[in-house]
Each structure stands twice: as C-alpha cells, then as structure tokens.
Structure 1
Amino acid sequence: MSINVTDASFETDVLKSDKPVVVDFWASWCGPCRQVSPILDKIADEHSDKITLAKIDVDANPQIAQQYGITSIPAIFVFKDGELAKTTIGAKPKPVLERELAEFL
C-alpha cells in the first residue's frame, strides 16, 4: 500500500513518520516511473510492517522536488527519522531494489 504525498503533507507524512518512508518521485508522462511503480508497491506490501511507501508527482508538487534537487525520475529516496538516508535513481528490477533497500526492510 502506498500513500500519495503532496508539498503540503510531506513534512507530516514523510519527515514525521515513525518508520522509514520510501519516497517515489514520479510523473505521469515518465515511462520508467510506470515500470518501477508496481515493483515498489509489491516491496511495500511485503514489508508494510517496516516501511511506508509514499509517491510524489513531481509535476503537481514541484516544491518538494526542487527542495531535494530532483532532476531525474524515477528518483527513490528513503527517509528515516526525518533525515534523508538513501537515494537511488532510475527504474530497476525488484531484486536490485530489494538489495538497495535491504537495510530498511
């Protein structure tokens, strides 16, 4: 399960979360974003007790994208205890994403 996050809800939904939040920066026109989205959904479903998946449409929410310097999407950032803990850019297969996110799963 994922939550849709906006510029307005980012602080509450992501930075103040009590568990790590995997943030998927995406856009509707981005092919690789559409490829990676169901993979992230599956990982989040399998590990819902440990992580939250948040999705941010960079076109609808440019403030947060700009704040974190998003220039390439999909960009997957992990926030833990209100701090940016990990970043990965680009669509990757599930085993690769699971390896990259392993410390949070």
Structure 2
Amino acid sequence: MAGQVSACPACGTKNRVPVAAKGTPRCASCKAALPWVVPASDENLDAALDTRQLVLLDLWATWCAPCRAVAPVLVRLATRYAGQVKVVKVDVDHSPRTAARFDARSIPTLVLLREGKVVRRVVGAQPEPVLAREVDRALAGSR
C-alpha cells in the first residue's frame, strides 16, 4: 500500500508513513515518532485500522466545508499525539460501505477506535480543544 509523506516534527526530515503497519512510524534520521495521517477506503480500511495505537477515523467528503475546516486540526492532533494516535481519513463519497459501517449520517463524523472497537464518537466540526479532550479521554480509558 502506498503511504503518505510526513515531515518529522523533531528534525524536519521527510519520511514515508505507511497506510498499514504493526508498529509506530519513526523518523529515519532521529527516530522520533511521526504523525500518522493516512487515507483509506473500503478496500484497505481493515488494514489501516489494524494497529495498537488509538485510531481517529475521519469520515469526510471533499464538498463538506466543515470537514475541510477540521482537516488541519486533525493534522495538528496527529503531530501532538505522534506515537499514540493514528488518523485515518475516509472520503464517504468513495467509500459507502465504511460510511454505513460507522453510521456516518452527518459529516464530519470522527470515530475513535481501540483495537477495532469504537470507544468515542464525535459528530460535526468541533474546535481543537474539544477534539483534544476526546482524544485524551480515549487514551486514558485505554491504560
């Protein structure tokens, strides 16, 4: 599977992060944990969700203005929680089975999953502090 390119927050080195991996992506230069933001679809979603990290599943669409507003917040959260959270982005217009599986009746729908099981759900665009609090709660519940 193709990966995304992510700049290391510690040293700036560009690294390719995979859609699916068993471990945590680390910088090739300094070994710091990398932000893990990847696209997924109906075809590769199960592989993208197969991780020990908390997954923040973003169910969105290109035409959705609130979804576009939340996108940079999710990148900042992925950077803040590098090594702990993986952000998986699914365009619901191209992945209707995933939208149905997670009951995405309104977008953006953000689903926090631990080992494939839903632990929290946020519907609608929310400010960064609200989303960070949801991530913190999900991480605290997993320890």
TM-score (norm. length: structure 1): 0.94
- 1:1-33 alpha-carbon deviations (Å, 9 max, x no partner): 41001111111111x212111000000000000
Shift of 1:69: 1.2
Out of 74, 77, 91, the residue aligned to residue 125 of structure 2 is: 91
Give unmatched runs, 5+ long, in structure 2.
Answer: 1-34
Give 3-state SS (helix, strand or coil) of 1:66's partner. Answer: helix
Larger Rg: 2
Q: Which amino acid aligns with 2:129?
A: P
- RMSD over equivalenced CA pairs, Å: 1.2
Q: Structure 1: which amino acid aligns with 2:97?
A: Q
Match of 1:27 in 2: 61
Q: Are residues 1:36 and 2:70 paired?
A: yes
Aligned length: 104
1:1-105 matches, cutoff 5 A? 1=35, 2-14=37-49, 16-103=50-137, 104=139
Alpha-carbon shift at residue 65 of structure 1 (Å): 0.4
Residue identity (%): 31
| CA apart distance, 1:67 | 1.5
Runs of 4+ in 1 over 2 A off after TM superposition: none
Higher relative helix content: 1
Counterpart Cα distance in 2 of 1:21 and 1:100: 12
Q: Which protein, 1 or 2, shows the higher relative CO under an 8 Å CA cutoff with sep ≥ 6?
A: 1
Map of 2:8 onto structure 1: none
Q: Deviations over 1:34-64 (max 9, x none)?
A: 0111001100111111010000000011111
